[in-house]
Structure 1
Amino acid sequence: MTAYLEIDKVEMHFETKRGRFHALRDINLKVNRGEFITLIGHSGCGKSTLLNLIAGLIKPTAGTLICDRKEINAPGPDRGVVFQNHSLLPWLSCRDNVLLAVERVFGDRETRAQLIARARAALALVGLTAAEAKRPHEISGGMKQRVGIARALAMEPKLLLMDEPFGALDALTRARLQDELMKIVQATGSTVVMVTHDVDEAVLLSDRVVMMSNGPAATIGEVLDVPLAPVREAPRLRLELAHEPAYLQSREAVLEFLYRKQAHLEAAA
């Protein structure tokens, strides 16, 4: 079966004041349609750089990225991005922030009423119908993140990319949004690549956890298959997983990898 997303021998260098910085080396990864993949690793390991490459926001120094059999060489509506910062326009309502993205994708082939209906449907999907007329300063941080997710989903992307979307939220809000995300993935069947620092989040949500080695010249160290039912088939219940051997073993495997890398960092310091 042909992979939905193919990353082949990707390298990434950046020119800095101190010279050329080798951010990523020999990145090879295949993601199937409908998979939920998380990228995890220590700070500076290139997780967000890899996500930006998939989004088409930057171009690789070498190698290729293919999504749905087309090379990625620029941003496109087939890839929706949710950033850690919600990036909402403060003078627009929640609905109009989503509508802005909808107009860019569907504006030349749908009526105004159809575009508004799309925006409202996306907000309903994340449970924000009652807040659609409110502006960002009138809603909580968790609600702002849900608007960001709604904006990405309203574009009907083939691939949903998320860069630590819950990283700045408190633990309870984060848990609620993780549960919401699982419901959304089940409803939409989306293919997701998500960056996280949180081990529990990675194991809870993922079909596979991609563990990055330390930078510079970071690469994929290990890939862990999470032996749980896929999120797209049924949301995982965190209270039940707290005593599930497969969940605990997966969590331990990721922690062990990260601790090994941390020990390597400290030894090299």
Structure 2
Amino acid sequence: MSNSNPTRYIDIQGVEQTFKTRKGNFPALRDINLTVAKGEFVTLIGHSGCGKSTLLNLIAGPGPERAVVFQNHSLLPWLTCFENVFLAVERVFGRSETRIQLKVRTDAALALVGLTAAAQKRPGEISGGMKQRVGIARALSMEPKVLLMDEPFGALDALTRAKLQDELLDIVAATQATVVMVTHDVDEAVLLSDRIVMLTNGPAATIGEVLAVNLPRPRHRVALADDPQYQHHRKAVIDFLYTRQAHVEKAA
């Protein structure tokens, strides 16, 4: 990550990734060039196997300045919601802050995602959507410079997914977080993003197109449903994924 230039908060230049398999080397990504500005929300979209999660993992690396939210919430089932978040807070800030300060941080993170009332419940006692909110709270509690999200709402039903998308819009507006998110959902990408990065089909996937989403914030899904600009962006992504990439596959 680059801290000196706000327009290049994340700077990826000429990145490639090859995996060794039993059948030989598998080129997952090639010639990836991407910059992300501070406070920007960028989504990565493409067909299965195009290397979206691989690219997200390359950005993640080690260190608490980058927090990851997965599709699987990965909560410890024997701990309460509070304790799951507190564990992350203690790991990052435990050497510099008192236990009271750590508790305040944990409470604030749970309040940010609307889970104060569920703080003492265990994962088995709450819904799937609430579990994902705990995962988001845990990530935000670490005050990461970059929030990385790998299809965080992919396993949820449509109504819960829509609710959490709306909540994520509010959270990002409140925290001014820099977000890179993997998704398969075109509408989700257009609703949330400042830019949509479209990857070509694998193997040796690369960035085929980057679409700037010129929709004012705050955004409201009901108001956007009939918005011509929203429909224009949606069509552009669908055209890339299901028309242009389909032609590439047939030509190959």
TM range (shorter): over 0.9
Aligned equivalent of 1:262: 246
Residues 1:53 and 2:58 aligned together: yes
- In 2, the alpha carbon distance for the partners of 1:89 and 1:206 equals 31
| 1:67-93 C-alpha deviation (Å, 9 max, x unpaired) | xxxxxxxx1111010001000000000
Q: Residue by residue, what CA displacement relative to the aligned partner does 1:28-60 show, whole Å, maximum 9, x if unpaired? A: 00100000000000000000000000001xxxx
Secondary structure of the corresponding residue to residue 34 of structure 1: coil
**CA distance in 1 between partners of 2:207 and 2:50 (Å):** 9
> What SS does the aligned partner of 2:8 have?
coil
Identity of aligned residues (%): 73
Deviations 1:112-142 (A, max 9, x none): 1111111111000000000000000000000
Does the alignment pair 1:205 with 2:192? yes
1:104 aligns with 2:88: no
Q: Does 1:243 align with 2:248?
A: no
Aligned AA (2:86): L
Kindly state the Cα deviation for residue 267 of structure 1 after the two structures are TM-superposed: 5.3
> Partner residue of 2:176?
189
Aligned pairs (5 A) from 1:131-210:
131-210=118-197
SS at match of 1:21: strand
Aligned: 1:114 with 2:92: no
Structure 1, unmatched stretches of 5+, are: 57-74
Q: Given residue 37 of structure 1, which amino acid in structure 2 is its aligned partner?
A: V
Letter in 2 for 1:31: V
Alpha-carbon distance in 2 for matches of 1:187, 1:83 = 21
Give, as a single letter, the amino acid of the residue that structure 2 aligns with 1:224: L
Secondary structure at the counterpart of residue 217 of structure 1: coil
* Cα distance in 1 between the residues matched to 2:124 and 2:172: 28
Q: Structure 1 residue 6 and structure 2 residue 11: aligned?
A: yes
Matches for 1:58-73 after TM superposition, within 5 Å: none
Q: Which runs of 5+ in 2 are unaligned?
A: none
Q: Distance in 1 between matches of 2:247 and 2:80?
A: 47
How many angstroms does 1:265 deviate by? 2.8
Shift of 1:26: 0.3
Q: Which amino acid aligns with 2:64?
A: P
Within 2, Cα distance between the matches of 1:228 and 1:15? 42
- Mapped partners of 1:214, 1:262: distance in 2: 9
Alignment length, in residue pairs?
246
Question: Could you tell me how far apart the structure 1 residues matched to 2:154 and 2:119 are?
Answer: 24
Residue identity matched to 2:157:
D
CA deviation after TM superposition for structure 1 residue 261, in Å? 1.0
Displaced runs of 4 or more, over 6 A: none
Partner of residue 42, structure 2? 37
Match of 2:28 in 1: 23
The alignment's TM-score, normalised by the length of structure 1, stands at 0.90
Distance across 2 between alignment mates of 1:33 and 1:165: 21
Distance in 2, Cα, partners of 1:238 & 1:76: 35
Q: Which amino acid aligns with 1:149?
A: I
Structure 1 distance, partners of 2:28, 2:177, is 29
Quote the Cα distance in structure 1 between the aligned partners of 2:120 and 2:246.
46
Which SS does the other structure have where 2:169 is aligned?
Answer: helix
Q: C-alpha root-mean-square deviation of aligned residues, in Å? A: 1.0
For 1:132 and 1:214, how far apart are their aligned partners in 2?
A: 42
Write the distance in 2 (CA, Å) between the matches of 1:266 and 1:95.
Answer: 51
